[in-house]
Chains A and B, each alone.
Chain A
């Protein structure tokens, strides 16, 4: 690459003093925080809406990571493949590789690692036609196309988690399966043999409004306990769905004949603990909250070392003038009983939870503050060691919510990603990519070519590039 491109594209770490925008002032810049824009230098002309990011990483090799977003193959929509991002330096730099068997882009994607690096599993909705593809790469750095292991139609929002047991990888794919009988569509595809075979496990035991909500979220502990959260849709009127928020549990990794029945609700003695009942889910598949659609925010995290402890976050409409409100609750007895709301976050979405080995819980979310042209998407990570009796927060980004105009939905994502490894939280979110240091209070590194003094993105030739949505990786230390 040309010398001037290197000069402009070299990592720009910017320490920031964010101006007062009428929102709570973030704490001072924390040591050890990294925020990195994933778009590489060689794609500096990119203007796509790279929404709905996701992250996968290995315990055994902290340098290796995979990430995804609604990022298209740079070759265009006629391309036979779609890309993933990979890093082999702990997230400091990222490259884009076209290894997904989907034309140009996917319509949904999540992924998780195998026990042996660099094995990677992915669940995608393939373009065209949008069938579920459950995929595997024995080496995600390889240019080879990921191998198809299982496929079927009529599903939504595959959400993947994995764990290794001996030499075998167990794969859990939460998904909404419209072909499930009796409208009980909440399903987990379970593989106990590294994706060679999958069995679809139905986890809804109650009557529904014809289907469950799209988000089905598994979480796996080291002792093989598997929790799954889902929305039990009970009725709907217009755009509002009345739903229960339900958690099921399996104590043996879903290896038995009738899995996910180890947690029973005392009210009806059916599997699936009703953590919240009759909440109102505003189902809006149109720009509703800072140009984003709403209706499926749900996250679950289990303490991998102590599977008794589990945290749950979901969003609904409280009805106090809010558009969408995130709630966070905790159970310390394997889901049998739950706290009330530990956190209530108005006009927020994309809650993601993770628990570090030392017990710090992390809550990533994106919240609209202000109104009209002054409104902003604020991406924040809260960390707590005491069940959110107290917490410390880190503002990762505060960007305009009205620009750029949405190209499609989701605007920034129906979900983002947060994981814990060792003494750090590692995560990913999507946001307006204006290279303005005031927008990133913890600093930011761009790989793509930018000019911070003029707040401009530049293409390879130095011409200005329009602002768009980019995925941002971050690393934040856990609380000591």
Chain B
């Protein structure tokens, strides 16, 4: 996958008039990367920190500009980074490029694995690359959100009217278990203001979410009475009980366990645009 992306990008950049292909490939690289920087190769077959094993595929790169990185990672202009390249011999000392990478070894220094690199012009025009990567990231984020929308059974804009403990009947297949990872399911009843997919305004839907503070559920969205938003809802296949009750009626239960499943009310505009996009 990584090799294919790098080859696509190299091909795209080599062929005049292939800007669209190049842009698509850049988005593919961005999607797979969490550390992106412009840098200049200073050594090949070498490493920048002793805890990283040197090989013919490792190169040392001086960071010229960090374009994206996680907040926890200490990486700045002037640092030397070990890059494990996709292919030995693909980079020469003095080459400046945009490096698309993922974290590999974190010690005294940062070592990353190359997803791909973009040689571009030399020297790289920093402002152009910053803008290009930022644009690609937006495209990746939109594509991720669209995929979530497509997987969702229902997309609604609405308001949490009530939160209550879920009453899940134990079944032979899902007996009640005592474990620290228990989700302690809660139910949010959402009053639908606008149905963007699979729902109509005025409906009420039941969304299950974990009330537990356990580490297993640390990233799952929570709901509170009065909370407004745009919600991507999935049929409940997690709690073991696919139905819930509203006013004495049995209705399907939904979940919204991914961070992308709970968006702001203002995000409804963006979601509508993505749904309409051909």
Chain A residues packing against B (C-beta within 8 Å): 1-2, 5-6, 9, 40-48, 51-52, 70, 73-77, 79, 88, 93-98, 104-105, 107-108, 125, 127, 130, 141, 143, 156-157, 176, 178, 210-211, 214, 236, 241, 283, 285-287, 293, 295-296, 406-410, 414, 447, 449, 459-461
| Cα of A43 to Cα of B107 in the assembled complex, Å | 8
Contact assessment for B214 and A409 in the assembled complex, using a CB-CB cutoff below 8 Å:
yes
Stretch at the interface among B4-12, B74-82, B120-128, B267-275: B74-82
14 A-B pairs whose Cβ atoms sit less than 8 Å apart in the complex:
A1-B74, A5-B74, A41-B74, A41-B109, A42-B73, A42-B74, A75-B70, A77-B259, A97-B105, A143-B105, A409-B180, A409-B215, A449-B74, A461-B76
Known A45-B73, A409-B215: A75·B102 in contact at CB below 8 Å? yes
In the complex, chain B residues whose CB is within 8 Å of the CB of A70: 215
**Cβ 8 A contact of A285, one of B75, B104, B108, B212:** B212
A42/B107 in contact, CB under 8 A? yes
A21 to B179, CA, bound (A): 36
Nearest CB to that of B217 among chain A residues? A408
Contact of A9 among B70, B104, B108, B213 (CB under 8 A): B108
A-chain residues with CB within 8 Å of residue B113 when the two chains form the complex? 143
Given A42-B73, A42-B109, A97-B105, residue A156 in contact with residue B179 (CB < 8 A): yes
Tell me if B214 and A93 are in contact (CB < 8 A). Answer: no
- Is B88 part of the binding interface, using a Cβ–Cβ cutoff of 8 Å? no
Question: Are A96 and B106 touching (Cβ within 8 A)?
Answer: yes
Distance between Cα atoms of A469 and B139 in the complex (Å):
36
Q: Check if A293 sits within 8 Å of B79, measured CB to CB.
A: no
Does A76 contact B74, Cβ atoms closer than 8 Å? no
Identify which of residues 39-77 in chain B touch chain A, using a CB-to-CB cut-off of 8 Å.
49, 51, 53, 70-76
Q: Are A406 and B180 in contact (CB under 8 A)?
A: no
CA distance A156 to B216 in the complex (A): 12
Q: Is the CB of A74 within 8 A of B218?
A: no
**What is the minimal beta-carbon distance from B222 to any residue of chain A, in angstroms?**
12
In Å, the complex CA distance between A77 and B212 comes to: 19
- Is the beta-carbon distance between A130 and B216 smaller than 8 angstroms? yes
A-B contact sample (11 more), CB < 8 A, given A40-B107, A143-B84 = A1-B74, A2-B78, A44-B74, A97-B106, A107-B214, A125-B216, A130-B216, A143-B105, A283-B178, A409-B213, A410-B215
B51–A95 touching, CB < 8 Å? yes
Question: B33: shortest Cβ distance to chain A, in Å?
Answer: 9
Please give the distance in Å from A145's CB to the nearest CB on chain B: 12
A285 touches B107 (CB 8 A): no
The answer to whether A214 and B34 have CB atoms under 8 Å apart is no
Q: Is the CB of A1 within 8 A of B73?
A: no
* Closest A residue, CB atoms, query B212: A285
A426 to B184, CA, bound (A): 37
- A45 to chain B: closest CB distance in Å? 4
Asked if A43 and B106 sit within 8 Å, CB to CB, the answer is yes
A364 to chain B, nearest CB (A): 21
Q: Please list the residues of chain B having a beta carbon within 8 angstroms of any beta carbon in chain A.
A: 34-35, 49, 51, 53, 70-76, 78-80, 84, 102-110, 113, 175-182, 184, 212-219, 259
Contact A285 B103 (CB under 8 A): no
Q: How far does the alpha carbon of A6 sit from the alpha carbon of B78 in the complex, in Å? A: 13
Of the candidates B53, B72, B74, B80, which one forms a contact with A47 in the assembled complex, judged by CB atoms under 8 Å apart? B72
Per a CB cutoff under 8 Å, which of A1, A286, A460 touches B80? A1
Q: Is the interface of B mostly helix, strand, loop or mixed?
A: loop
Q: With A76-B70, A143-B104 in contact, do A1 and B109 touch (Cβ < 8 Å)?
A: yes
Residue of B at shortest CB range from A154?
B177
- Cβ B180 vs Cβ A41 within 8 A: no
A178:B177 contact, CB within 8 angstroms: yes
Collect the chain A residues with CB atoms within 8 Å of residue B218's CB: 407-408
Are the CB atoms of B107 and A95 closer together than 8 Å? yes
Assess the B107–A93 pair: CB atoms within 8 A.
Answer: yes
Give the residues in chain B near A241, CB-CB below 8 Å.
Answer: 178
With A74-B106, A93-B108 as known contacts, state yes or no: A210 contacts B216, CB within 8 Å. Answer: no
User: CA separation between A156 and B192, bound complex, in Å?
Assistant: 38
B33 to chain A: closest residue by CB? A75
Q: How far is the CB of A295 from chain B (nearest CB, A)?
A: 7
Q: What residue of chain A has the Cβ atom nearest to residue B52's Cβ? A: A95
> Judging by beta carbons under 8 Å apart, are A43 and B72 in contact?
yes
A2-B79 contact given A51-B215, A93-B107, A409-B215, CB 8 Å threshold:
yes
Contact B179 A176 (CB under 8 A): yes
Q: Which residues of A contact B180 (CB under 8 A)?
A: 156-157, 214, 285, 293, 295-296, 409-410, 414
Q: Which residues of B contact A157 (CB under 8 A)?
A: 180
By a CB distance below 8 angstroms, the chain B residues around A108 are 181
Q: How distant is B144 from chain A, measured CB to nearest CB, in Å?
A: 9
The CA of A96 and the CA of B106, in the complex, are separated in Å by 5
How far is A42 from B110 in the complex, measured between Cα atoms in Å?
6
Whole-angstrom distance between the alpha carbons of A295 and B178 in the complex? Answer: 11
A127 to B217, CA, bound (A): 10
When distances are taken between beta carbons in the complex, the residues of chain B under 8 Å from A236 are 178
- Sorted nearest first, the 4 A-B pairs with minimum C-beta distance are A460-B74, A95-B107, A75-B34, A46-B72
In the complex, are the beta carbons of B51 and A93 less than 8 A apart? Answer: yes
Which residue, of B74, B102, B108, B213, has the highest number of chain A Cβ atoms within 10 A? B74
Instruction: Report how far A41 CA is from B106 CA in the complex, Å.
Output: 8
- Give the complex CA separation of A9 and B106 in angstroms: 14
Q: Known contacts A2-B76, A408-B215; is A45 also within 8 Å of B110 by CB?
A: no
Complex CA distance for A51 and B218, rounded to whole angstroms: 13
Give B180's nearest chain A residue, CB to CB: A285
Is the beta-carbon distance between A285 and B215 smaller than 8 angstroms?
no
Minimum CB–CB distance from A344 to chain B (whole Å) comes to: 25
| Nearest-Cβ distance from residue A101 to partner chain B, whole angstroms | 15
A48 to B184 Cα, complex, angstroms: 23
Q: Chain A residues near B215 (CB, 8 Å)?
A: 51-52, 70, 105, 107, 408-410
Once the chains bind, are B71 and A211 in contact (CB under 8 Å)?
A: no
Q: In angstroms, how far is the closest chain A Cβ from the Cβ of B21?
A: 25
Flag if B214 contacts A77 (CB, 8 Å).
no
Residues of A within 8 Å of B53, CB to CB, are: 141
Query: Known: A40-B107, A42-B109, A98-B103. Is A285-B214 also a contact (CB below 8 A)?
Result: yes
Q: Is A286 within 8 A of B72, CB to CB? A: no
Closest A residue to B109 by CB, please name it. Answer: A1
Q: Name the CB-closest residue of A to B84.
A: A143
Q: Which B residues touch A93, using CB under 8 A?
A: 51, 107-108
CB distance from A8 to the nearest CB of B (A): 10
The one of A75, A406, A447, A460 that contacts B103, using a Cβ cutoff of 8 Å: A75
A214 to B70 alpha-carbon distance, docked (Å): 35
By a CB distance below 8 angstroms, the chain A residues around B109 are: 1, 41-42
Q: Which residues of A contact B76 (CB under 8 A)?
A: 2, 460-461
- Cα A274 to Cα B212 with chains together (Å): 33
Q: How far is the CA of A285 from the CA of B213 in the complex (A)?
A: 8
Bound CA span A293–B180, Å? 9
Per the bound structure, the CA–CA distance linking A295 and B79 in Å amounts to 47
